[in-house]
Amino acid sequence: MHGLIFFYLRKFLAAAAPGGAAGAAEGSTTAVAFRTTRYLPTGVYPDAEAVAMLGEVAHATGAPLPDVVERFGEFLAPHLLKVAGSEIDPSWTLLDLVEHTESIIHAMVRVKNPGATPPVLETLRVDARELQLIYRSSRRLCRLAAGLIRGMAARLGEPVEIEETSCMHRGDPFCSFVIRIPVEHTRRDGVGEEETVMCPADGSSAGDAVDVVVRSDDVAPPMPASIGGHRVLRLLGSGGMGRVWLAHDDRLDRDVAIKVMLPETARDAANRERFLRESRAVAQIDHPHVVPIHDVGIEGGLPYIVMPYLAGGSLADRLCGERCLPVAEALRIAGETASGLAAAHARGLVHRDVKPDNIFLVGPGRHVRIIDFGLARDTLVTGSALTLAGSILGTPAYMAPERIADGTVDGRADLFSLGVVLSKMLSGRLPFEGRTAASVLAAITKGAAVPLAESAPDVPAEVAGLVARLIANDAADRPADAGAVVAEIAALKERLRD
């Protein structure tokens, strides 16, 4: 175990046991050893010694050892946050922090001490208020992990609910947690105003990230004066890979949106390459339903891409307001999206994250522009696909079965996602449902879709048939390509008009 943990363990021992941990079980040879052993924060020491030290506290206080381990995690969390300060974005919430813990450990421990073996942490962000965590370690200190999460929540002033759904101590191959922020809460941390988290109306799925989070106390990132010669006006939003700024191109007198990679993500060379590949991939496509790229560059060590500033809102925004769309409108949006995907697929590019958030509706006509090709995969260049270790890239509710199973992925995976989007537009529900992201993924893998005839009985059978083929479990049973979907939707619209 890393010496840094021992450093804080000694501080915990001094405060936890009656009379100080060194005084616990005064006659034991173990307590004497703990007083005399020198643990350096830069060293690596046997796990058994840490467990024995916590055991002394359990013995002295009469508390079960697992409870003591969790208490130590709560004690440890604020100290680790302080030590890791340079690796932490001050705007992160608790779930952001848990989501980035693996990269923080890598930066602080693995890079500087290759001999250390910290636990493997894999996360899946479900939505704005829920995250799933898988913990694997021969140490089986899952209670320490739970304590760390509670300690971080306390330090950030955020309430948290933790459910352990599997545990190595119960014979499972790994421990898994569902970490939730309560449905509605407010907090005041002395820095800003109250924070309110508001959730969507009943009926949305855990796998469908449509929660609305309103914050007035987040620490806003410093606004750069300019990026790539473009005058920055304000922050538009943030995502998993970068921040998007509204800026003005004084040379051409037009507003632009500039996506800049997050500093903590840009430290990894593979992440920088993935980010830049987004711009190169999209720049190859000249199509009215795909957002174009104006420029690409690096500013202050951070890659950025320049895109047009689009007036309008996402399909996700519209569905939050209208829930279901008329059949003709839903088919139009799906057809325009399929047309843009056909152009991308013709270039050998698979989007891999087609969902309402990435379908932007521009202007009063609400014409489609597909955005955020950040997960785009070049299927024509061997070895060019980049992924993030320990992560599932994409939004669970819209992922094709072959992506979940790590199978062969081509344009038909995007068609599956488009089918889920079309079903959501027509029924207001997702075809694959579940309480957690894991259960949604399981439903997709099994092909257990809620038929559109059940969720939206008024939708014409021909349209329901198209949706069923788009979300077919076997890619071979889906339409041959996006161009075929464009043609079929055009024919459907014509027949329904008669």
Q: Is residue 173 scored above 70 in pLDDT? A: yes
Number of domains in the chain: 4
Residues 454-467 as b/e (b if ≥16 CB within 10 A, e otherwise) read: ebbeebeeebbebb
Residue 21: what pLDDT? 44
Asked, for residue 228, whether it belongs to a domain, the answer is no
Q: What percent of the chain has pLDDT over 70?
A: 76
Conformational region of residue 390, where left means phi above 0, alpha means psi within -120 to 50, and beta covers everything else = left
Of 147-151, 258-262, 377-381, 439-443, give the lowest mean pLDDT range: 377-381
Residue 465: what pLDDT? 96
CA distance 273 to 416: 27
Which residues span the domain enclosing 59?
A: 1-63
> Are residues 177 and 100 part of one domain?
yes
| Sheet containing 312-314: order of strands | 312-314, 359-362, 367-370
Q: What are the E-state strand segments in 192-319?
A: 195-198, 212-214, 226-227, 230-238, 242-249, 254-261, 295-299, 302-308, 312-314
**Dihedral sign from CA coordinates of 145, 436, 420, 356:** negative
Asked, for residue 282, whether it belongs to a domain, the answer is yes
Q: Mapping DSSP to helix (H, G, I), strand (E, B) and coil, where does residue 85 land?
A: helix
> Are residues 385 and 291 part of one domain?
no
CATH number of the domain at 377, please. Answer: 1.10.510.10
| Cα separations in angstroms, 17 against 27, 246, 293, 465 | 15, 55, 61, 67
User: Helices in 242-292 by DSSP H: which ranges?
Assistant: 263-266, 269-283
pLDDT tens digits along 15-39:
765 554 444 444 444 444 455 566 6
Strand partners, 314: 360
Residue 254: what pLDDT? 93
> Are residues 493 and 355 part of one domain?
yes
Residues 427-438 as b/e (b if ≥16 CB within 10 A, e otherwise) read: bbbbbbbbebbb
Asked, for residue 284, whether it belongs to a domain, the answer is yes
> Are residues 450 and 319 part of one domain?
yes
Residues in the chain: 498
How far the first Cα of the chain sits from its last, in Å, is 72
CA distance 43 to 348: 49
Name the phi and psi angles at 71, rounded to 5.
-60, -40
Catalytic positions: 353
> Are residues 340 and 275 part of one domain?
no
